[in-house]
Amino acid sequence: MVIGILQMDIFLPETGSLKEKRWIVKSLTTRIRNKFNVSVAEVDSQDKWQKAVFAVAHVGNRQAFTNKLLDEVLNFARGVKQIEIIDSKLEFL
């Protein structure tokens, strides 16, 4: 069993309030969850309106597949116009 965890530090340059941030975060987490069948949550910086930290987790039986899937999630997030990926980290347990 392989557990892959992708952490993404995200900058939201166009948000002016926590309400706007919540809308973008909820939309992005739902899209990632539905498209890739992974677990995703905002895990830090909930009180900052221009920053978010997401954790995306996938459990599988092959590290190569989990690695490829989480890379696809990262590339998908990079394509979202409302956000910028500041940093990302991928680890396996």
The single residue listed with the structure tokens 């677990």 is 39
CA distance 77 to 84: 8
Amino acid occupying residue 85: I
Q: Please tell me the predicted confidence (pLDDT) of residue 45.
A: 84
DSSP state at residue 9: E
Pairing of strands 51-60, 84-92: unpaired
Q: Please tell me the predicted confidence (pLDDT) of residue 9.
A: 97
Are the beta carbons of 52 and 5 closer than 8 angstroms?
Answer: no
Are the beta carbons of 84 and 9 closer than 8 angstroms?
Answer: no
Render pLDDT for 12-46 as a digit per residue (tens, 0 to 9): 998 989 999 999 999 999 999 999 999 999 999 88
Are the beta carbons of 66 and 92 closer than 8 angstroms?
Answer: yes
The torsion angles phi and psi of 80, rounded to 5 degrees, stand at -80, 125
Residue 10 banded pLDDT, cuts 50, 70, 90: very high
pLDDT at 47 over 90: no
From the candidate CATH numbers 3.30.420.40, 3.30.70.1120, 3.50.30.20, 3.40.50.720, the one assigned to the domain spanning 2-92: 3.30.70.1120
Q: Please tell me the predicted confidence (pLDDT) of residue 60.
A: 95
